[in-house]
Amino acid sequence: MGSKLVECSDGSKIALDTDLELSTKLGEGKTKVILEIAKSPKEVLIVSKDSITAGNGLKKDSLQGKGIYSTITTSNVFRLLELSKISTHFIAQATNESFRARKCTMIPLEVIVRRVAAGSLLKRMPNLKMGERFETPMVEFTFKDDIQGDPLVTDEEVINMKLNCGGISVDQSVLNQLKVLATRSFIVLENAWSKLQMTLVDFKVEFGVTEEKEIVVADVVDNDSWRIWLKGDPALMKDKQVYRNLPIGELPEKDRQNLIENYRWVAMETNRLIDSLIKKTEGVGKALV
């Protein structure tokens, strides 16, 4: 197996142990790089960086191993969704830091599903109490725009944008489909985490349109994508919120190690999330460790 270097915009490099022939860099975000696979034009390779950011990139650090842990987590999440009959763009984990996926035209919306009141919701709805549970999950949209800070948008505002993604017009029927798929995905993960005494508070998910014009869960769903509280206690959070809560400035070593351990712990727990299902399903392998 050969080693290939992926160059990131910040000058860092990621070494991938793969024989895949990689060509064009199709995109790069704060925490991932998307590469075209030369001999598989309908596929991409999604590579996770060690970067962690907050405040729309105003706060940024590098955590050694985060790219590996994020890839394990998102690969396991996609496997769980696929085993639960929810279509995703995931094909297979390729290396410790990357996975293969179907090429999609992304819908520029984040779909946020909330079961428990927390975070920015409390500022917008001060009548709610921290930890208050919603019997029916709340679903919201944000429009992906770094300059505007990914603002919340209503159905009507999205429809008025007249978005066309991969040949699909984003109308009310499509928005309803996104809400249903996002809520189904949330409930699958919520039930799985609950077996490990973890409360899935909320999560954000994105969707893409495949070349066959199928709407699928896409991008990544990792420890940056949700809030999870051990035993339902916000003091025992294991997600990116721990980083958001730290002051801006140089990251103390003890905090760095705590963050790395959280991401490692979550990745290993996601192995447990699907272990029993994997044993019952032929042709599905465990995540690389």
CATH code of the domain containing 23: 3.30.200.20
In a domain, 269, yes or no: no
Of the pLDDT bands very low, low, confident and very high (cuts 50, 70, 90), residue 57 is: confident
224 and 189 together in one domain: yes
170-190 mean pLDDT:
98
Q: Is residue 120 classed exposed, middle or buried when 0-12, 13-18 and 19+ CB atoms within 10 A define those classes?
A: exposed
pTM for the predicted model, two decimal places: 0.93
264-281 mean pLDDT:
81
176 and 229 together in one domain: yes
Asked if residues 68 and 94 have their Cβ atoms less than 8 Å apart, the reply is no
Hey, how many other C-beta atoms are within 10 angstroms of the C-beta on 28?
17
pLDDT of residue 282: 44
Of the pLDDT bands very low, low, confident and very high (cuts 50, 70, 90), residue 274 is: confident
pLDDT digits (tens, 9 = 90+) for 84-142: 999 999 999 999 999 999 999 999 999 999 999 999 999 999 999 999 999 999 999 99
117 and 237 together in one domain: yes
What's the domain range around 134?
A: 106-247
215 and 232 together in one domain: yes
Asked if residues 273 and 192 have their Cβ atoms less than 8 Å apart, the reply is yes
112 and 100 together in one domain: no
Q: Give whole-number Cα distances, 134 to 118, 213, 226, 271, in Å.
A: 11, 33, 16, 28
Instruction: Provide the number of structural domains found in the chain.
Output: 2
In a domain, 47, yes or no: yes
Of the pLDDT bands very low, low, confident and very high (cuts 50, 70, 90), residue 279 is: low
In a domain, 271, yes or no: no
Residues near 146 by Cβ (< 8 Å), separated by ≥ 6?
56, 57
Strands (E), 31-146: 32-37, 43-48, 51-54, 59-62, 90-95, 98-102, 104-106, 109-116, 133-143
Closest CA to 65 of 267, 268, 260: 260
CATH number of the domain enclosing 229: 3.30.470.20
- Domain end call among 57, 79, 104: 104
Cα(172)–Cα(177) distance, rounded to whole angstroms?
9
Cα(96)–Cα(286) distance, rounded to whole angstroms?
12
19 and 90 together in one domain: yes
Cα(30)–Cα(48) distance, rounded to whole angstroms?
10
130 and 224 together in one domain: yes
Tell me: pLDDT of 35 over 60: yes
In a domain, 71, yes or no: yes
97 and 116 together in one domain: no
